[in-house]
A and B are shown apart, each in its own frame.
Chain A
Amino acid sequence: MTSATTAHSVVEPSATTRRFAGSLVVLYAVITMIPLVWIMLTAFKSPDDAISYPPKVLFRPSLEGFCNLFTTRSRQTPEFIRSLGPPQGMCDSIARDRNMVVAGPSNYVPRFINSLIIAFGSTVLAVALGTLSAYGFSRFRVPLKDDLLFFILSTRMMPPIAVAIPIYLMYRTIGLSDTRLGMILLYTSVNVSLAVWLLKGFIDEIPREYEEAAMIDGYTRFQAFVKVVLPQATTGIAATAIFCLIFAWNEYAFAVLLTSGNAQTAPPFIPIIIGEGGQDWPAVAAGTTLFLVPIVVFTVLLRKHLLRGITFGAVRK
């Protein structure tokens, strides 16, 4: 009897290898997802379930966390509560069960809006400035080009918080502290170095011939840049935008230091949501869960570009 031998390629991974690699990826995904899932579960727990020990995996879902996130409440006597009319909506009725009434909206929504404006504003600005300077560095003879590029990169060599005190003093003097504009400028200045370096790589990969052809065909350099270079750099621009957005969206240290009543963003606000008798964990978890949404939406919208972009232009067109 002859045994059939299957010729298998040396470069293609075998089925076993592929299964092994696949399960590693799944395992890694599960491990990274656990904290996220835990936060989301906590958001739907009651305050008692949230701090119970051992932790509860099965529980009665409640929207109390979300109610506490969006409202402020005040404790009243049962007599006073009975003297009121019927509860005003679901959150009021949850509050009354705990002898409280809804006193008004919380600051979460304005903080969230601050976050949106500051993060997207600084991302747009950083990517726009980054694209223009990356194009300049990529295409023109800039005197001291290498030194300048290194200088730009060097702004990221120390933790940004190292300059927090000088920036705090500066901002206080020129009136930028606790303003949205101040935060946009700050995050832009941190992100623009990343944007320049990432985008320069992408623009370097676009052959100059495209613009040259367009310039010979009658475009000015700026028109050629807008009509010919930008469409081909969308991948890089999308990837860069996501990196910038994630930084600006999650930034905590500067936000704590430089913002308070007016321009405070969500990250410093969420952890200090205080309930009765300490931290209101379901409200914190609810705030965190909602906080994740914009980044997820933005990433999903751009994922078509992102997959190619994250490989840093390694794939030739």
Chain B
Amino acid sequence: MAQIKVEALDKSFGAFHAVKSASFTVENGQFLCLLGPSGCGKTTTLRMIAGLELPTAGTIRLDGEDVTMNRASARDIAFVFQLFALYPHMNVRRNIGFPLKCEGMGAAERNRRVVEAARILRISHLLDRSVSGLAGGDRQRVALGRAIVRKPKCFLMDEPLGALDTEMREAMIHELRSLHDRLGATTVYVTHDQLEAMAMADRIAVMNNGVVEQVASPRDIYDRPASLFVADFIGSPPMNFLPFRGGLQTGAEAIRLGERDVAIPAAREAMAESELVLGVRPEHIRFTDRGMVRGEVYGTEYLGTTQIVTVATSYGALKARSPSSRSFRTGETVGLDFRPDTLSIFDKASGRAIRTALHEGVVHG
């Protein structure tokens, strides 16, 4: 098992700059998710770690060793593909044993390892089947088997659950995570699905337009987004943004929003008068008659235990999460209050989150 250190990684395809100076570290045994919308460079980053693409600049270290330009086969890593990439002309046993055969391992030892991998993944009964007849989940298990059989330094997975249906995906999320806990293997996992990332990852690296926006634990990513993009991408529905103009003194505990003062976590940096954005998670909005922001109920989405209420305000449509017991009429005027200790403030121009007490771990959302 190994630590993966990615430093200032750059990749251009002709004029297209796919990855821009990406840096992060995956500690030994850690499960890191690369999360972002399609085209954000997460798969390219993963493929560079695997050695399937060579970076334009930057270094990749495996356990301190610079492997940036090494051949894929010389890196001792395993890769799980979204489309499984099982060799159709081989049965399950030969597919799982293939990496060992490439290494030149003898048949007896190879078979022992294959049987062991199959047992871990509970696919022993499928070993002599042809891969073309297998269901999606089983195919994915075979692909995982091919990855774990070699006991590599780390696992790289490119949306391995993307081709499965929802039900199978849920089951595989738990299986993957418990497999990781059992093997303790360093894993980098690419996904565009925030629920997958939240459920499995020790740490999440959110990418956008080739840039790593934030690397943090799922909780920090959600509660303390480092940028407007992260705040918008994570959470369903996403964070509400209320644009306003103002400045901040270090230590300020309120901002001026329209006619009212809104309490915020104490600012830890000063900000000159500029365009700012106040970020509020839907679950941090309360309905009160004397709310700071007033608006009209536009519609509701019923989600079982909660409902999402869309309120048209002078700051645009805000979405609030409310217990589903409460009933709203469309067109009804309501007042909204924000939980002060959970608010984020962003600089609109750069998208960067402004440092406040929120970032010190003092406050929890």
Contact = CB atoms under 8 A, between A and B. Distances in A.
B31 interface: no
B332 interface: no
Interface string B88-101: 11000000001100
Contact of A317 (B78, B82, B103, B132): B132
Contact of B51 (A216, A219, A220, A231): A216
Residue of A207, A209, A210 with highest tally of chain B CB at under 10 A: A209
B264 interface: no
Contacts of B150: 217
Interface in A183-232: 207, 209-210, 212-220, 228, 231-232
A216 B78 contact: yes
Interface string A116-128: 0000000000000
Contacts of A228: 87
A215 B78 CA distance: 10
A109 B233 CA distance: 76
B103 to A, nearest CB: 6
B89 A231 contact: yes
B102 interface: yes
Given A207-B83, A209-B83, A216 B73 contact: yes
* Size category, A interface: 10 to 19
Contacts of B103: 218
A317 B89 CA distance: 11
A192 B102 CA distance: 33
Interface string B9-51: 0000000000000000000000000000000000000000011
Contacts of B51: 216
* Size category, B interface: 20 to 34
Contact of B73 (A207, A209, A219, A232): A219
Contacts of A218: 73, 99, 102-103
Given A207-B83, A212-B52, A212-B81, A217 B102 contact: yes
B185 to A, nearest CB: 15
A228 B103 CA distance: 16
Contacts of A207: 83, 85
A33 B289 CA distance: 90
B4 interface: no
A209 to B, nearest CB: 4
Given A209-B83, A317-B132, A216 B89 contact: no
Nearest to B102: A218
Contacts of B52: 212, 215-216
Interface of A is mostly: helix
B308 interface: no
Interface in B49-84: 50-52, 71-73, 75, 77-79, 81-84
Contacts of A220: 71, 73
Given A228-B87, A232-B89, A317-B132, A213 B73 contact: no
Given A209-B81, A216-B51, A216-B77, A232 B146 contact: no
A213 B99 CA distance: 9
Contacts of A215: 52, 71-73
A25 B124 CA distance: 49
B328 to A, nearest CB: 47
Interface in A287-316: none
A216 B85 CA distance: 12
A213 B102 contact: no
Given A216-B52, A218-B103, A317-B132, A209 B85 contact: yes
Given A217-B98, A218-B102, A220-B73, A212 B85 contact: yes
A208 B89 CA distance: 15
A232 to B, nearest CB: 7
A225 to B, nearest CB: 13
Nearest to A207: B83
Contact of A213 (B71, B81, B88, B132): B81
State the 9 A-B residue pairs at the shortest beta-carbon distance, nearest first: A218-B102, A209-B85, A217-B99, A213-B85, A209-B81, A218-B73, A231-B89, A216-B72, A216-B79
Interface of B: 50-52, 71-73, 75, 77-79, 81-85, 87-89, 98-99, 102-103, 132, 146, 150
Given A209-B82, A216-B75, A218-B99, 10 more contacts: A210-B85, A212-B85, A215-B71, A215-B73, A216-B50, A216-B52, A217-B73, A218-B102, A232-B88, A232-B89
